[in-house]
């Protein structure tokens, strides 16, 4: 079987695609990883499938975010503020 050289993309979610992450030099797969907005995916599910926002977020977490597809598996990013991380330290 030929090795994949391209990232895995999520079907019909191009408008939720934020960008690409490139592997570290220590990552032997060498496959770039697509990065998606988890918030945008949840909003799409809410709007298209009549889910509440908590239901849509749970679906994203349980069925997309935790789905490991091997090298090139897409990554999801949730929006956050500094308050989400607790106490901030001044540099």
48, 74 contact by CB (below 8 A): no
Q: pTM of this prediction?
A: 0.81
User: Mind listing the pLDDT tens digit for each residue in 49-67?
Assistant: 999 999 999 999 999 999 9
What's 15's DSSP letter? G
pLDDT the model gives residue 91:
66
pLDDT the model gives residue 72:
86
Residue with the bigger pLDDT between 1 and 58: it is: 58
**Domain boundaries of the chain, sorted by first residue:** 14-80
Cα 23 to Cα 57: distance, rounded to the nearest angstrom: 27
* Number of residues written out for the chain: 91
CA distances from 20 to 33, 57, 66, 76, 83 (A): 6, 22, 19, 11, 26
């Amino acid at each position: 079987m030929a090795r994949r050289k391209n990232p895995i993309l999520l079907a019909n979610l191009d408008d939720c695609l934020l960008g690409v992450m490139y592997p570290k030099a220590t990552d032997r797969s060498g496959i770039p990883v697509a990065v998606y907005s988890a918030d945008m995916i949840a909003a799409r599910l809410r709007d298209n499938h009549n889910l509440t926002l908590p239901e849509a977020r749970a679906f994203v977490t349980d069925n997309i975010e935790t789905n490991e597809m091997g090298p090139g598996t897409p990554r999801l990013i949730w929006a956050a503020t500094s308050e989400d991380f607790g106490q901030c330290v001044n540099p």
